[in-house]
Every structure is written in structure tokens, then in C-alpha cells.
Amino acid sequence: MTSRTLRRRAAAGTPGFLKRSQPRWTERVVKVLLVAAALVSVLTTVGIVVALIPPVVEFFGKVDLGEFITGTDWSPLFEPPHFGVLPLVTATLVVTVIALLVAVPLGLGAAVYLSEYAGHRVRGTFKPVLEVLAGIPTVVYGFFALKAITPFLQRFWPGDDPPEVFNALSAGFVMGIMIIPTIASLAEDSMAAVPRSLRDGAYALGSSRMQVSTRVVFPAALSGIVAAVVLGVSRAIGETMIVAIAAGGRPNLTFDPLEGMQTMTAFIAAAGIGDLPTGSTGYQTIFAVGLLLFAITLVMNLISIRLVRRYREVYE
Amino acid sequence: MIPTAVTSDPPEIPRLKGRGTPLREQFFRLSLWASLAIGVVFLAGLLTYVVVEGWPRLNPKLWTNFPDIIDPSNAGAQSAITGTIWVISFTALYCLPTGVLTAIYLEEYADRDRWWNRVVEINIQNLAAVPSIVYGILGLGVISRGLGFGQTVLTAALTLSLLVLPIVIISSREAIRAVPQSIRQASLSLGATQWQTIWRQVLPAAVPGMATGSILALSRAIGEAAPLLLLGGLTFITFNPTGVHSQFTVLPIQIFNWISQSRAEFTALASAAIVVLLVILLVMNSLAIWLRNHFTRRW
């Protein structure tokens, strides 16, 4: 019997033939819609690349790549312009290092406390506080750094050489506090994933709580903890408002945290405020520095995602 | 006769003596506690500072008046407050449907063995950690100047949508994943189609979780200033937006503007505006927590 006759009989309602159910058209429409929505995220990435690449290509048509990477003078809007990105990179580095010096010990300390020491009640009170810290807009952190922390430092500075009004130290410190929740919550998650039997085994052998925390739980959760720190680094590098407000707007090749300096992000923001005409070299510098920033954070994020994957494979 | 054993002294039980908590242990515990406490003290200090500084300016002028560069005592933030409402409403309009639909696709339809689905997934994880200023560059280069939308509410809303989309997607996925598989199987075995199952069973159960995540995502968007700086949001705006193609300013930008002014009156003004911003965020977050606690179903 050909399939055509089968279909005819089925249509005529001849007994013995069930109609093959066709997927309803609504189901297909829905699926197309859903795929389209999922594509938005891919298109965003494509959009970022499309937005960044052409101006950057044009930029490097005018500016030597070697000068950009190794040059020590960043003054793209002056005459004659200089395009050495190093001062911006070192400023980002200085602020990031200060932020990490604050955020890594405090964030990990908080994570160990919440995961290994705190009872239900203490966790219930302190976790929301950390969430509030994470939810405060960065412009508010910047305001606090500039108007409260810097005057405080200047007033109580022990040496003869107090920090400048704009300085990397208070920006970095406040940024460190801002990153604490990021590091603490990710690190705590990975410590919670360490099986209880490991802890019980260590206690049974006579370990103290400190020994269990530092020699059993911490190493077992290490890849997750490193992932948390890497994510913290990437947030510090990408943070804009705090440095734009509190670290100043002067490109400055220095490692002295008491001086003002302009980070990559602060430059992008400052140039954006300037509302430069499309196609000008100044406008294209936004994209060149933006691409550098995007590339650095992308590498950081990929490392972090990989590490999180790895620790998940072990304990789930 | 009563046995004498009752009255006699109990036999000596050998007791193990603890060594007591060594100093090192106590110090370790204290430093862990301190690292948590520093964050709390910082938060308390910050909140006290902005409230004390902003107190003299927390009067109705703040929302009845427009920014005034000459006379700070009469300046207000009305254009920024209405601008924030405009921008956030349209952000919600763009990013919530897209985010929820993407989450449904990834959780209910996508085959994880297919490389393109994994690409979408890794992509979203990455986008979640891209610095916000890079979204500003995207908004500037593609939306504002590339598509010619200019420095408008529409551009800002689209840029912020893309920025918080990963957060909406990730939290919606978690909400969908929390609905047990047995619900879907029961629905399918009763003859419901896949979409009917999702629409009538999965989504109603996942809505509280999605709503919580969405509110948190929008509150992130409300506080975001960096990408909007690039879109030219710093222009001095003394009028409320009249439509999606209107120019705008938002609270964080207005605050940044006032911080950059050196006169002390503007510092007070910035503090007052920060208090308003924080109260808005507090209300939204409380709503999110309330939704989570009261409507989430435990299976």
C-alpha cells in the first residue's frame, strides 16, 4: 500500500488507521520565538565585537601598535597627541592590587567564617548584610571614597606626605570593600560543596576547627576559591565609577598609591563625557582602550568559568 | 534494707581534660569574625555618612525642582527621578521578556549536547562578567551612533537591557530548574503538548523565583551609571522625558554630576539624592525578598 492511500483512508476515517499526530503550529511558533530570544545574547557579543573592531582598526591605521603598547605618555586629546597606554594600564594595576589586598583576605575570611564557624542565626544576619554591600551602586562607593575616606586619610595620615585629593589608595580600598561579597559568596559556595565526610574524618583524627578549615576545607575548595578571586580581579579591572570619581582623571605613570591616576575605565568614561565626534582619533581611542579592557576581562572570566566547572565535576 | 550504695560516694570517673582552646585558634576565629565585621562597619559608616550629609537637603524641593547649577539651595532632582522611571520601565519592557524566553529555551528545549547551545550558555556566563562600561561602548558605537538612536531614553533602555539580560536569564533558569521533573512528566502523560506543559505548569510555579531575579536585575540597572556616561547622559537636563526619543538624565548620573561640583552645597545635594536612590533600591530589594519568602513553593 502506498503512503498516499494510507493517508486517504486515514482522512476518510477508515477504522484501523490512527492519524499521525502533527506537532501543532503553535508549538513551532513558540520554539522559533524562544530561539530568537536566545540569539539576542549571541548578537550582543557579536555587537560588542562589531562595535569595537572597525574603530580600532582605523585607530591602528593612524597610531603605531608598538607606541600604543609600550608608550609611556597618554595624551590623546592634546597637541601633539601621544598614545602610550601604559599609564592607564599601570593605574588599573595599582588600583586592582590595592582592592585585592583588601578584598581577598576579608572576603575569604568572611567565607570561612560563614561556612565553617557561624551558626544559623549569625549566617541569617550577616549574609543579607553582604548582599546589601553588593547592591549599593558604585557611584555611591565613589562618593564615599572621595568625600569621606580621602579626607579621613589626609587628616590622620601618619607620615609627612598625605594622599592627594584624588588618589588610588582610597579608590582601591573602597573598591576592595565592594568586591568582598563577590569573593565571599562564590568562595562560600565552593566550601559548602566540600563533602561533610571530609570534615568528619578530620575531626575524628583530632583536628581542631582551624585545622579543618585551613588544611581540609580550604584546599578541597581551592579551585572554586581561585575562581572567586579571579572574578574579583575582573570586577576590579572593569569597575568605572569609583575610579572615575575618586582616583582622578590625570594619566600618571606611577606606582605611588597616594597620587591621582587615570585607569583604563576612567579614561573611557572621561572620553565618553567629552562627546567626541564620530570618526575622530579621540573617539577611536575609546574603542582601542575598550577592546584592551574587554580582552583582559574576557580572559579572566574564561579562566574563572573553567575553574568553577572543574570543582563542580569533582563534588557533584 | 536500702542498699548502702545509694548513700556512698559515687566512684571516681576518670575524666579526659580538654587542652582548652589554644590561643592560635582563638586568634584565627577572631580574625575571621573581624573580616566579616569590617564589611558591616563600613556599610554602617557609609549609610550614616550619606544620611547625615544629605539630611538638610532631604526636603520636597528634591523632587519638585529641577537641577540648578547656579543656585544649589533650590536645585532638585525631578528630571533625574522621572528619567530613572522612564529608563527603567523600558529596560524592563525589553529585557524581561527576552530573558525569560531565553531561559525557557535553554532549560526546556535546548539539547546540551549540541555545540550551539553550549556556545549560547558560555556566552551568557561571559556576558554576565563583561564590565558595564563595555556595554556603554556597545551602546555608543552601535545603538546610539550606528543605528542613529542618539542620546535618548530608548538607547539607554536598550543598553541597560543588554547589561542586565544575563542576570535575568541566569535567575530565571534557576527558577525553572527548581520545578520538579515529575510535574512536567505528569502533564505530558495527560496529553498536554510541551508548550502547554510549560505555560500552564512550569511557568506558574517558577514565576516567584523569576520575579525575584528580575527585580534584583532591575535594581542593578537603576544604580548603573558608567554605561550611561558614555551615551552622553551627563548633558545638563532640566526637563522630564516626554517619550522614548527624548533626552534624559538618571539619578546616578545626576549624583555623579553633583559630586563633580566642588561647592559643599552640591555635596549635600549629592548625599540627598543618594539617600533617595538607596531608598528606591531598598524598597525593590525588600519586595524581592518578600516575593521569595511568600510565594516560592517548596516541592
**Model confidence over A132-153: pLDDT tens digits?**
888 899 999 999 999 999 999 9
C-alpha dist (Å) from residue A295 to A201, A288, B41, B126, B131: 44, 11, 36, 12, 11
Q: Is the pLDDT of residue B1 over 50?
A: no
Cell, residue A112: 570561612
CB–CB contact B226 A269 (8 Å): yes
pLDDT at B32: 93
CB contacts of B124 in chain A (<8 Å) are 41
Residue in B with minimal Cα distance to A211: B25
Cα–Cα distance, A114 to A124 (Å, whole number) = 10
Question: Between B164 and B58, where is the model more confident?
Answer: B164
Q: What is the pLDDT of residue B57?
A: 84
Cα of A54 vs its chain's centroid, Å: 25
CA angle B188, B189, B190 (to 5 degrees): 90
Looking at residues B177-188, what average pLDDT do you find? Answer: 93
Q: State the burial class of residue B284 (Cβ atoms within 10 Å of its Cβ: 0-12, 13-18, 19+).
A: middle
Give the angle B45-B46-B47 at the CA atoms, nearest 5°.
95
The answer to whether A140 contacts B223, with C-beta atoms less than 8 Å apart, is yes
Residues of A in Cβ contact (< 8 Å) with B271: 143
Residue A107: which of A133, A81, A74 has the closest Cα?
A133
Nearest chain B Cα to A240, which residue?
B226
| B155 within 8 A of A272, measured Cβ to Cβ | no
Scan residues 62-91 of B and list those with Cβ closer than 8 Å to A: none
- Which residues of chain B from 35 to 64 reach within 8 Å of chain A, CB to CB? 35-36, 38-40, 42-43, 45-46, 49-50, 53
Probe site for chain A from B137, B256, B277, B282 (most A CB atoms < 10 A): B137
Amino acid identity for residue B13 in this structure: I
Cell of A130: 553582604
Which three three-digit cell numbers place residue A74? 597618554
DSSP state of A159: S
Cα distances (angstroms) measured from residue A300 to each of A229, A234, A241: 10, 6, 21
Within 8 A of A230 by CB-CB distance, chain B residues are none
Contact: B42, A275; criterion CB under 8 Å: no
Q: What is the ipTM of this complex?
A: 0.86
Structure confidence at residue A10 (pLDDT): 53
Q: Is the pLDDT of residue B70 over 90?
A: no
- pLDDT at position B59 is 84
Which residues are paired to A83 by β-bridges? A74
Of A30, A106, A137, nearest to B195 by CB-CB distance is: A30
Q: How many CB pairs under 8 A join A and B?
A: 259
On chain B, the residues whose CB falls within 8 A of the CB of A126 are: 36, 40
How distant is the Cα of A203 from the closest Cα of chain B, in angstroms? 15
Q: B226 and A244 in contact by Cβ < 8 A?
A: yes
| CATH tag, A75-315 | 1.10.3720.10
What residues in A contact B234, CB-CB < 8 Å?
273
Rounded-to-integer distance, Cα A110 and Cα A186, Å: 11
Cell for A106? Answer: 576579608
Q: Taking each helix axis from N to C terminus, what angle separates A86-112 and A168-192, rounded to the nearest 10 degrees?
A: 40
Which residue from B195, B219, B229 is facing A26, i.e. has the nearest CB? B195
Nearest CA in chain B to A207: B25
Which CATH architecture describes the domain B61-295?
Orthogonal Bundle (1.10)
Cell for B48? 550614616
Decide if A41 and B166 are in contact by the 8 Å CB cutoff: yes
Beta carbons of A138 and B223 less than 8 Å apart = yes
pLDDT at residue B170, rounded to an integer = 92
Residue B199's pLDDT is: 92
Q: Chain A: nearest CA to B63, how far in angstroms?
A: 19
- Residue B150, phi then psi, degrees to nearest 5: 75, -170
Q: Compute and round to an integer the Cα radius of gyration of chain B.
A: 28
Distance CA B244, CA B87 (A): 8
Closest-CA residue of chain B to A179: B39
Q: What is the mean pLDDT of chain B?
A: 86
For chain B, give percent helix, strand, coil, nearest 5. 75, 0, 25
Where are the domains positioned within chain A? 75-315
Residues of A in Cβ contact (< 8 Å) with B231: 272
For the entire predicted model, the pTM comes to 0.87
Identify all chain B residues contacting A266, using CB atoms and an 8 Å cutoff. none
As a whole number of angstroms, the distance between CA A314 and CA A190 comes to: 11
Helices (H) and strands (E) in chain B, counts: 12, 0
What is the mean pLDDT of the segment spanning B108-126? Answer: 86
Question: DSSP code of A280?
Answer: S
Asked if B86 and B149 count as a contact pair (C-beta separation under 8 A), the reply is no
Residue B232 gets the label, from left (phi > 0), alpha (psi -120 to 50) or beta, of left
Q: What whole-number distance in Å separates Cα of residue A187 and Cα of residue A211?
A: 18
Question: Which range (A183-187, B15-19, B151-155, B268-272) has the least confidence?
Answer: B15-19
Amino acid occupying residue B7:
T
Task: Report the pLDDT value the prediction gives residue A25, as an integer from 0 to 100.
Answer: 83
| Per-residue model confidence (pLDDT) at position B187 | 94
* Cβ contacts of A139 on chain B, cutoff 8 Å: 223, 225, 252, 255-256, 259, 274
Cα–Cα distance between B109 and B96 in angstroms, integer? 19
Helix segments in chain A, DSSP class H: 3-12, 25-62, 65-70, 86-112, 120-135, 138-144, 150-156, 168-192, 196-204, 209-211, 218-220, 222-238, 241-246, 264-273, 281-315
Q: Which residues of chain A have pLDDT under 70?
A: 1-23, 310-316
* CB-based contacts of A311, cutoff 8 Å, min separation 6: A190, A193, A221, A222, A223, A224, A227
Measured between beta carbons, which residues in chain B are less than 8 angstroms from residue A117?
Answer: 29, 32-33
* Of residues B36, B106, B252, nearest to A137 (C-beta): B252
Beta-carbon contacts of residue B264 (< 8 Å; ≥ 6 apart): none
A-proximal residues of B, 231-290, CB under 8 Å: 231-232, 234-235, 252, 255-256, 259-260, 267, 270-271, 274, 277-278, 281, 285
Instruction: Please choose, from the candidates A81, A134, A5, the residue with its C-alpha nearest in 3D space to the C-alpha of residue A283.
Output: A81
Domain ranges of chain B: 61-295
The four Cα atoms B57, B157, B237, B216 give a dihedral, to 10 degrees, of 10
Flag if B40 and A290 touch (Cβ within 8 Å).
no
pLDDT at A1: 46
The candidate with the shortest Cα–Cα distance to B281, out of A169, A135, A271, A308, is A135
Pick A143's closest partner by Cβ from B130, B220, B259.
B259
Query: Residue B265 carries which side chain, given as an amino acid letter?
Result: E
Which of 115-144 (B) contact A at CB < 8 A? 119-120, 122-127, 129-138, 140-142
Interface membership of B150 toward A (CB under 8 Å): no
Rounded Cα distance, B209 and B187, in Å: 21
Helix (H, G, I), strand (E, B) or coil at A277: coil
H or E element at residue B174: helix B153-177
Q: Which residues of chain B does A35 touch, with a Cβ-Cβ cutoff of 8 Å?
A: 105, 109
